[in-house]
Chains A and B, each alone.
Chain A
Amino acid sequence: MPASSDHAPARVLGPLATLVAALTLLPVVVVVVRGGADGWSAAVDYLVRPRIGELLAHTGWLLLLTVPAAMVLGIVAAWLVERTDLPLAGLWRTLMLAPLAVPAFVSSYAWISWQPQLVGLGGAVLVTTLAYFPFVFLPVASLLRALDGGEEEAARSLGLGPLRAALRTVLPRLRPAISGGALLVALHLLAEYGVLEMMRYQTFTTAILQQYAVGFSDTPGSLLATVLVGLCLVVLALEVAARGRRRVARVGSGAGRRADPVPLRGWRAPALVFLGAVAALAVAVPVVMVLRWLLVGQSQRGVDLSDLGPVTLSTLALALAGGVLAVALALPGALLLARRHGPLAILLERSTFLASALPGVVIALALIGVAVDVAPAIYQTALLLVLAYAILFIPRAMVSLRAGLAAAPPELSEAARALGARGVSVLTRVVLPLAAPSVLGGFVLVALAITTELTATLLLAPTGVETLALAFWGAADELDYTAAAPYAAMMIALSVPLTVVLRRQITKEG
């Protein structure tokens, strides 16, 4: 046997990973092909009209206002928590991540039931900013905590004040974290449906669901979806440009040291008020409103919890199946990346990310089309829904797996092979056990995303299957706040572990 036996797994992994990438890109292809079904000029006629301009403007304003707002909020909060002598930093760290445990459409339900006049762009920006700023906070906080304080000190020794030293040395190194977080916010905004429907603010995603409602999965819906795909590509390209090429890592571990906390002095009170207000608006409002409606429902007619159990169970079953499938599908690509960092591996990884930038509704539209035409046997089955979940959330599994597999050095696989183990048994006996925590981490991330997924579920849920998100949406859509509350409470309860997992992600690096 030649020494570089890694060629063998690559021969298997390469095709497998390519298959997965093809699967994830399938929805894009289907949507574009369907959109062009009536010919080029029909497509142009449909797309070049005032209504599309209106949707573009709406979507554009939302991005233009929410993304910067979420960035500022996330960066300021992260800096206060990780780099100053703020009291109770641990508590604030948790509170700044807690909005992730509240699905955005649940917060909008809380806001609109408390302040019904909050409709249109203003309400949409408020709710999405509060719901999504943790996507910026998380990477920035964990990088701020991990960054070496030495450079900042050097800058200060050269005569810069603390603020300018931070701006000159820390901020540039935060660029990838900030732009990565902003990218997530932007992609979530493009895909957002529940919040915007409730706030009566129409974007491409709400228009696609409306098209689906009037015409099943027809050409206009696919055309709108194609525009949305285009917008996703623009956002992805902007992020690559914004990220820059500056190095974050240092060569050699050296003797890195934590930066000294910046004393807030007179700014301590305003800082506490600021973080307190953010926490109150982003976490307390939804939680209090959900509890309030639970109590109102309880006193009015007694909360009918008979549906909650089965609905929770079917949600968990879908989350389990989707989580497992996503992890399994991410595995070949992640292994390939961990072992052979060639251009093919990188291309495959990027392609799964592109697919995941697509809103659930686009994936669902495409899968409905394919299933009806090609595979009627899986149409309207849980299998198709689970497949959609897997395609949507493979990158979450991928990110986690890559980190974990990096911890399983190839030398150990080599050693196992030298001792006579073959491919699959090397995988199950050496590699996977070492990567187990990250496998589980990836699974949890995917499962939690599935628990609150709305648009793909709306279109693909099989006959008789009700999920928490569907049950909540059904009631909230009719403005029946009391009936929606138990499902909202259950979704929040199930999402709490996510916050715990993520919080660990910040602190373990410090």
Chain B
Amino acid sequence: MTPTLSRRTLIAALLASPVVLSACSGDEKYVPDPEALQIYSSQHQNVTEAWARAFTDATGIKTQVRSGTDSSMGHMIVQEGDASPADVFLTENSPAMTVVERAGMLAPVEETTLEQVGEGRAPSSGMWTGIAARSTVLVYNTSMITPAELPASMMDLQDAAWAGRWGCAPGGADFQAIVAGMLVDRGEEETAAWLEGLKDGAEIYQNNIATMKAVNAGEVPVGIMYHYYWYRDQAGTKEGSGNTELHYFGDQDPGAFVSLSAGGVLATTDKADEAQQFLAYLTSPEGQEVLVSSGSMEYPVARGVPADPALPPLDSLDAPLVDPSALDSDKVVMMMTDAGIL
């Protein structure tokens, strides 16, 4: 073979490879499998996958998970509209589900499924259901601050005395859900003032974990986050939380807000039956047990399913009473934009 010929072969192979590749892309990982239940999920990937696997094992129904983040996935489904490949949507926080609900894209959840879920763990509309819950907490560095010096309310953090001394992750949906709860609870004016305080006084982190680690490292004495990152780290190496404790605001404070992870069935699905079965499974004692044993340290929402014993009982947290249907994430994003945070 002459050198020219081998070069030519090489080039031919290179030019032909898109054809070969596109032929290979029948691989189920690259395209939605029309037979599988399409689950769009912004819930933690390991939890969603544990659920999807257990459901497939229990029913034989194939599943495929597309992962994303709350708001972007909620808006993505709305933009996809009737063409959305999604059959089921699972979120980490409920406001993203409310976006889809308000676009009229959800089918009502079956009564029997809603009955499996505890009081106040699903919206009044009945268009979706809670599938897990997480509580807002204040994480604090025990060598920098004493329990007596902690703020009594999350609203106190806007005071000048706290400027530069607290951290949070306002870019994430977790935090936006907390602000949405505050908006329902305290109204627009108080929330806007608090956000101004945040803009001037808070250290901004990427996410809850970064916030917790910053508090642990002593960058700031306190931070706003959800409870389960701390319990997970405590159950593991304590690398990111060894110097910290949690403070629960209680007293129906905005800082005691409990956020629901939500599950809903798309109105456009051609697998309505399987999709409803999936939600029924997630909220069944069996499905909630999958959540508890996944080590995610989130709260189960089904009646009679206990949380991990390391956690204070959900009912003891004295969270503010908020109808999750009222949480308006678009409004929160607008207010955060106005405050110059986004």
Contacts and interface: CB of A to CB of B under 8 A. Distances in A.
B32 A440 contact: no
A215 B71 contact: yes
Contacts, number: 124
B11 A382 contact: no
Contact of B171 (A210, A382, A432, A440): A210
Nearest to A49: B340
A215 B209 contact: no
A216 B4 CA distance: 50
A462 B32 CA distance: 9
Contact of B21 (A198, A317, A381, A477): A317
Interface stretch (A76-84, A171-179, A180-188, A318-326): A318-326
A54 B342 CA distance: 11
A218 interface: yes
A479 B240 contact: yes
Contacts of B28: 464
Chain A binding site: helix, strand, loop or mixed by DSSP?
A: helix
B201 interface: no
A95 to B, nearest CB: 32
A463 B32 contact: yes
A212 B30 contact: no
B11 A433 contact: yes
Interface string B319-342: 000000000010001000100111
A214 interface: yes
B162 interface: no
A28 to B, nearest CB: 21
B263 interface: no
Given A197-B206, A380-B85, A51 B4 contact: no
Contacts of B25: 381-383
Interface residues of B, number: 54
Interface in B202-216: 204-207, 209-210, 213
B206 A200 contact: yes
A211 interface: yes
B69 to A, nearest CB: 5
A65 interface: no
Contacts of B237: 300
Given A213-B72, A216-B79, A477-B206, A51 B29 contact: no
B31 A477 contact: no
A380 B18 CA distance: 18
Contacts of A198: 206
B15 A372 contact: no
B124 interface: no
Nearest to A215: B75
Most buried by B among A300, A324, A327, A328: A324
B220 to A, nearest CB: 12
Interface in A422-463: 428-429, 432-433, 436, 439-440, 443, 462-463
A215 B332 CA distance: 12
Contacts of B71: 213-216
Most buried by B among A217, A428, A432: A432
B209 A478 contact: yes
Contacts of B24: 317
Contacts of A439: 11, 14
Nearest to B4: A433
B10 interface: yes
A200 B219 CA distance: 13
A436 B205 contact: no
Contacts of B219: 116-117
Nearest to A459: B72
Most buried by A among B83, B85, B171: B171
A213 B171 contact: yes
Interface in B1-58: 4, 7-8, 10-12, 14-15, 17-18, 21-22, 24-25, 28-32
A215 B72 contact: yes
A372 B79 contact: yes
B342 A211 contact: yes
Given A372-B80, A463-B32, A212 B72 contact: yes
A395 interface: no
A443 B14 contact: yes
B83 A327 contact: no
B337 A220 contact: yes
B72 A216 contact: yes
B100 to A, nearest CB: 12
B209 A320 contact: no
Interface in A393-432: 428-429, 432
A324 B13 CA distance: 10
A314 interface: yes
Interface residues of A, number: 52
A214 B176 contact: yes
Most buried by A among B7, B80, B204, B333: B7
B217 interface: yes
A244 interface: no
B82 to A, nearest CB: 10
A321 B30 contact: no
B144 interface: no
Contacts of A220: 337
A376 B83 contact: yes
Contacts of B102: none
A465 interface: yes
Interface string A53-78: 01000000000000000000000000
B238 interface: no
Nearest to B340: A51
B93 to A, nearest CB: 12
Given A463-B64, A464-B29, A428 B340 contact: no
Nearest to A314: B29
Contacts of B186: none
A215 B30 CA distance: 25
Given A216-B79, A433-B8, A479 B342 contact: no
A436 B10 contact: yes
B72 A464 contact: no
Contacts of B193: none
A252 interface: no
Interface in A206-252: 207, 210-218, 220
Contacts of B31: 381, 462-463
A320 B8 contact: no
Interface of B: 4, 7-8, 10-12, 14-15, 17-18, 21-22, 24-25, 28-32, 64-66, 69, 71-72, 74-76, 78-80, 83, 85, 171-173, 176, 204-207, 209-210, 213, 217, 219, 237, 240, 329, 333, 337, 340-342
Interface of A: 49-51, 54, 116-117, 197-198, 200, 207, 210-218, 220, 300, 314, 317, 320-321, 324-325, 327-328, 372, 376, 379-383, 428-429, 432-433, 436, 439-440, 443, 462-465, 477-480
Given A51-B341, A197-B206, A432-B11, 11 more contacts: A51-B340, A213-B173, A214-B173, A317-B24, A324-B15, A325-B18, A379-B80, A380-B85, A428-B12, A433-B7, A443-B14
7 contacts: A207-B342, A218-B75, A320-B21, A383-B25, A436-B11, A477-B207, A478-B207
Closest 9 CB pairs of A and B: A216-B75, A463-B66, A436-B7, A464-B29, A51-B340, A214-B71, A478-B209, A321-B21, A433-B7
